[in-house]
Chains A and B, each alone.
Chain A
């Protein structure tokens, strides 16, 4: 009864969020006295995949059929279900993402497995199999017992603090039979921003709101983000006004982030915005209005003009 971790490959490397899921899965395997196996789908070198061992996995199953080169929800779900059967796995772990969620849901349907998403810490196995998950967009938590034989857990970023072991995992080629019907959905085009840091994966996020007065002023936000190695984000009004693309909008109806550091510039902090960022470890708010509600949710605050403060912070970061 092993643990399987579904991972994602981006540009030939395992995604950071996937490595966190590997560590989480390996810890669950340890608790259950079993081993953790990684499923990696797509093109990556053996050396890259062996790195999963550094995060606690003993084995990597590598499915590298040419038809699996781009994320295909139904085909990936069939491959994952085959891996679960082959390894006789009881628990499937993955990091929440637009592909992971979709694949996990279909696998839960195939296996009649309980599926719990937004899990924020390691499970409690002292009486049954219990997980803690974030609900109401981060405004509360629920402790949930999973009763089914097979269990699927989608973890939120920072659900576990990773410790690298320096070990290496064995990589096996995995070639389950693929069904033609799984390829009926055609991806006809992909449009990806050139920025290298993905918002849900970022450890630091610099976010800005209407206080920036217009899209032409985003340079000072990007400068600070670049200096910090951070992703940029925005509030809903900014995305609604088309100042920034929708995939940068964080909040109740946008992306939910839980980075180590969230810096909000010129965002007042409406409750719907806070819902998307309240799981961040440290929140910094910079706003010229001392009454901005965001200060109540912040760890550090500066009352001041973003056009003055941001370039000075960028300079201070570069001087570190």
Chain B
């Protein structure tokens, strides 16, 4: 089993979002970067499958040098080697081209990633990569078992889930509860330092330009309704907020 896991380096879920340079750049000051939470599920499942079936797990990140901390953590969790495409992941199409270019050089049985990155939340890179490689793509996958060359999966849909069977190779966007998050142990952290990390340069052009960022308008004060008059809320929602 040869698995490629694509990971993002993203601001921590509790990070305060702000912008600099006339609202054209994300303000990285004081922000902690983490592995995308969905990517962590993908990586954990990949390592579980490797432990069960043998094979290798390669981590791929499209990102600048500051994402190497996240890549080393993935290696500590159990990936064997890593590739970093040295560029900002400018848009979904551009990022997918980088992944598909790397993936086309090897015969991966599985290409796993999170259902979406938590910075841009598009959730389309797995579909783009699948199309570019001419193989099926599925997301969000919450259960994955491998039997021979067949993958048995559960995918979440609106209001429920569906069971799916497909032959490898596949591109999958993952989410909980596909695996328990793995935490690196001391031995993992020590060996991660010497595992190979290859840096390659990007190919192709982006199809979009992000012109500026804006923050949502601040919320007005919360109107408090005393508990003894709770029923008044319904009248306010109907007559003042006009949502009923």
Contacts and interface: CB of A to CB of B under 8 A. Distances in A.
A73 B137 contact: yes
B132 interface: yes
Given A114-B208, A247-B158, A188 B165 contact: yes
Contacts of B234: 313, 316-317, 320
A312 to B, nearest CB: 5
Given A139-B17, A271-B14, 11 more contacts: A74-B136, A105-B128, A115-B122, A185-B165, A188-B165, A190-B163, A198-B159, A295-B222, A296-B219, A300-B237, A308-B227
A154 B225 CA distance: 38
Given A105-B131, A146-B208, A253-B176, A192 B231 contact: no
Given A105-B131, A186-B164, A144 B214 contact: no
A109 interface: yes
B4 interface: no
A116 to B, nearest CB: 7
Contacts of B156: 98, 246-247
Contacts of B123: 101, 117
A282 B209 CA distance: 32
A116 B161 contact: no
Contacts of B56: none
A139 B14 CA distance: 11
A140 B136 contact: no
A106 B128 contact: yes
B116 to A, nearest CB: 9
Place the interface of chain B in its size category: 35 or more
Given A102-B137, A139-B216, A282-B237, A309 B227 contact: yes
B121 interface: yes
A192 B163 CA distance: 11
A73 B142 CA distance: 17
A199 B159 contact: yes
A271 to B, nearest CB: 5
Place the interface of chain A in its size category: 35 or more
A271 B238 CA distance: 28
B159 A247 contact: yes
A282 B161 contact: no
Interface stretch (B47-55, B57-65, B90-98): B90-98
Interface centre among A113, A138, A260, by most B CB within 10 Å?
A: A260
Interface centre among B127, B132, B220, by most A CB within 10 Å?
A: B127
Contacts of A106: 127-128, 130-131, 137
B127 A109 contact: yes
A207 interface: no
Interface in B11-38: 11, 13-14, 17, 19, 37-38
A142 B227 contact: no
A122 interface: no
B145 interface: no
Given A105-B124, A146-B207, A261 B241 contact: yes
Contact of B124 (A104, A112, A139, A201): A104
A187 B138 CA distance: 11
Given A105-B137, A106-B137, A184-B136, A261 B211 contact: no
30 contacts: A99-B157, A103-B127, A106-B128, A108-B124, A108-B131, A109-B127, A116-B91, A117-B121, A132-B214, A136-B11, A139-B215, A140-B17, A141-B214, A143-B213, A145-B208, A147-B208, A189-B163, A190-B157, A195-B159, A228-B244, A246-B177, A247-B160, A282-B241, A298-B222, A301-B223, A302-B226, A304-B227, A309-B230, A315-B231, A316-B234
Contact of A110 (B131, B226, B233, B243): B131
